[in-house]
Structure 1
Amino acid sequence: MEDEITASLLERRSLAMNPLLIPEAYIIGAQPLCSQLAGLSQGQKKLCQLYQDHMQYIGEGAKTGIKECQYQFRHRRWNCSTVDNSSVFGRVMQIGSRETAFTYAISAAGVVNAVSRACREGELSSCGCSRAARPKDLPRDWLWGGCGDNLNYGYRFSKEFVDAREREKTYQKGTYDSARLLMNLHNNEAGRRTVSDLAHVSCKCHGVSGSCSLKTCWLQLADFRKVGDALKEKYDSAASMKLNSRGKLVQVNNKFNTPTSYDLIYIDQSPDYCVRNDSTGSLGTMGRLCNKTSEGMDGCELMCCGRGYDQYKAQVVERCHCKFHWCCYVKCKRCTKTVDQFVCK
């Protein structure tokens, strides 16, 4: 039996090839919406026309990925600021660096996350709650069948949509563009697999007076911060790759373990991101806040690349004098204080 997304794709493609079968409500407005979205390839525009109700969640998922990227790299010279939110799936940067690898992976993961949950919430016409098989290690007296996140559908739709851009590119064996194509596809898949790997069984207790004599369980995606944390670790251990004579990516340093489909890979060394360089997508660190007392990447010495920094006073508003009120909320006042801030020259 064909899985639900493949069947849905076949059905809608059949409609697209025979306009007489497409309802009038489906035709109206489809082309303007999809043609006006920036950054979509031709294949993605066609999928947009077939799956208009998915586009909101694709956008939300991509933005979730970019937001997580900015969180993970908030203390680094590159802080995900080179990503263009209006064209998430376009050419993010001009080089195939570690940063590019992370951006592709986190964006693909965000789409899986958003579409899977939209299915569970009944927002999409072609999917519903998860139909994942009952885990073998689940106790026999626990019920399986709560409305879980539809990871299978989200995974497959993300693969169909996000990878469409790369699949449309011309593959010329042994060229740099072919290396980027293979790299991008690999990192897209690593992002999706990370979401799948972190999904877990969630259960709710039932019983008299909360005795938990019975449990109902379902599949649930992990909090997206865990996905970001996992991919950040993959970023730090990403493998440097090169094209061999057969047009395949192989590891530069054979002393390390061969990267798996869960690992990130890159083909270009990262720039230092100290100064602005439009050819590499670097915005530089001039004007970035730094931590004078830190010896890490957020410290003024490393963040400012030895150029020094300026110090100034700033007014900061924060919550203060918080009190717990029965029952059940916390009420705080807003206090203003003057702090020292340090900015890279």
Structure 2
Amino acid sequence: MKIDMTRTGSRNGTISRHSSNSTSKLYFTFILLLLIFTPRVDSSWWYIGALGARVICDNIPGLVNKQRQLCQRHPDLMQSIGEGAKEWIRECQHQFRHHRWNCSTLDRDHTVFGRVMLRSSREAAFVYAISSAGVVYAITRACSQGDLKICSCDAQKRGQASDNRGEFDWGGCSDNINYGIKFTKTFVDAREKMVKDARALMNLHNNRCGRMAVKRFMKLECKCHGVSGSCALRTCWLAMSDFRRTGDYLRKKYNTAIEVTMNQDGTGFMVADKDFKGTTKNELVYVEKSPDYCLMDRAAGSLGTAGRVCNKSSRGTDSCEVMCCGRGYDTMRAKRVTKCECKFKWCCAVECKDCENTVDVHTCKPHRRPDWLDQTRR
């Protein structure tokens, strides 16, 4: 699903206002029909990435009262969260592009991921972590860019400090990561704090891991001052790293996620593996084992891998053996156009030719039904 947030504007004049009102009514009617005929599974604020905050605050199911109030009070923040939602979903799909479950989204579904998120699995753990991280990243960035009225750069970074290169002065515009984390915790965790069960505890834990992952990769950026750029004096500030670093980090945490069970008093977790000696503080946790995602299973939310492209020469998760779950694969010849024979032309451009190559594309075979099932349906 391609999530798009549409910004609508108005022009002066009666005709334009009438047109805008008509458009709003049509848009509102569309949203109501969408919400009525979309099967409700587990609505979430994630859908902000697909709809405008103008409608979402009052009408989309899934926002608890606290989230709805924040949405109405800070529409500019919701705009940032919507942009952040598109970004973290793209990152999720990048991280799992060679996986049987590829972070697939569903068109016109306000649950975004469908029933797959009902299971308290590793995949759910990753989605909650990366979504929380995406909100932190989006809000912090918007603060620094001056897009929000409620926050700006980190004003606490003042005076002198030092690193392994010596002393420097705080200056510039440090990213206000603490505000981003604070608001994200208030908004994202609001729904989970209303419930006292294993899934809510799991979500809260993974939300926190996602928030802290963004802070983990804050970096020092500096500007030199002095004769001929000698760096006799430095002015430095803290900035977020590219979101890809957070995605890579959380993807590794997905691989090492820890299975847990709720303790007897319902206040925390116990690790399912009795021999586990470490701590779960900075690890993703899950409660239920994942399905294999090989076959389409509407109840589990699995889309299956039939028709997925696989890599014949790979030995990883994108290999035809793993991706196709042993069902085999089909091969077809396809033409692919790439840029080639590129030359630098003074000044200042690169000119390339379009080269056409024929390549083999391998796709997973569909599941073959047992013969007895075919006979019973005749």
Same fold (TM over 0.5): yes
Q: Aligned to 2:246, which of 227, 232, 235?
A: 227
Q: Evaluate the alpha carbon distance shift between residue 327 and residue 37 of structure 1 in structure 2; reply closer, same or farther with a 3 A threshold.
A: farther
Residue 256 (str. 1) matches residue 276 (str. 2): yes
Q: Which protein, 1 or 2, shows the higher relative CO under an 8 Å CA cutoff with sep ≥ 6? A: 1
Query: Does 2:324 match 1:301?
Result: no
Q: Is the 8 A contact 1:43 1:168 kept in 2?
A: no
Quote the offset at 1:149 in angstroms.
1.3
Q: Give the superposition deviation at 1:132.
A: 4.5
Cα displacement (A) at 1:166: 1.1
Unmatched 5+ stretches in structure 1: 1-28, 172-177
Matching residue of 1:125: 149
Partner of 2:86: 63
- 1:60 counterpart letter in structure 2: E
- Secondary structure of residue in 2 paired with 1:142: strand
1:285 aligns with 2:305: yes
Q: Structure 2: state its 5+ residue gaps.
A: 1-51, 366-378
The answer to whether the 8 Å contact 1:187/1:264 transfers is yes
2:131 alignment partner in structure 1: 107
Does 2:181 match 1:161? no
**Bigger CA drift: 137-146 or 298-307?**
137-146
Q: In structure 2, the residue corresponding to 1:161 is in which secondary structure?
A: helix
Distance 2:68 2:296 in 1: 33
The Cα shift of 1:317 comes to: 2.3
User: Partners in 1 of 2:198 and 2:185 — Cα distance?
Assistant: 19
CA distance in 2, matches of 1:30, 1:316: 41
CA 1:206–1:323: 2 relative to 1, 3 Å: farther
Q: Which amino acid aligns with 1:108?
A: S
Structure 1 residue 333, shift from structure 2 partner: 2.8
Aligned to 1:204: 223
Partner of 2:205: 186
Count matched residues. 310
Amino acid at match of 1:162: V
Aligned to 2:337, the other structure's residue is in SS state strand
TM-score by length of 1: 0.83
Q: Is contact 1:68-1:228 (8 Å) kept?
A: yes
Match of 1:148?
Answer: 174
State yes or no: 1:44 paired with 2:67. yes
CA shift, 1:133, in A, is: 4.0
**Partner SS, residue 343 of structure 1:** strand
Cα distance in 2 for residues equivalent to 1:207 and 1:109: 38
- How has the CA–CA distance of structure 1 residues 82 and 241 changed in structure 2, closer, same or farther, with 3 Å as cutoff? farther
SS at match of 2:270: strand
Q: Deviations over 1:301-321 (max 9, x none)?
A: 110001011101122222222
- TM-score, length-scaled by structure 2: 0.76
Q: Which has the larger radius of gyration?
A: 2
CA distance in 2, matches of 1:326, 1:208: 33
Q: Distance in 2 between matches of 1:86 and 1:204?
A: 45
How many angstroms does 1:209 deviate by? 3.0
Partner deviation per Cα, 1:17-51 (whole Å, 9 max, x = no partner): xxxxxxxxxxxx98745224564333211110011
SS of structure 2 residue aligned to 1:164:
coil
Provide the alpha-carbon RMSD of the alignment. 2.4
Letter in 2 for 1:67: R
Using the alignment, how far apart are the partners of 1:283 and 1:154 within structure 2? 35
Counterpart contact for 1:82–1:93, Cα < 8 Å: no
Q: For residues 131-184 of structure 1, what are the alpha-carbon distances to aligned partners after superposition, in whole Å with 9 as ceiling and x for unaligned?
A: 344685436642212112110111111111111121233x2xxxxxx1000000
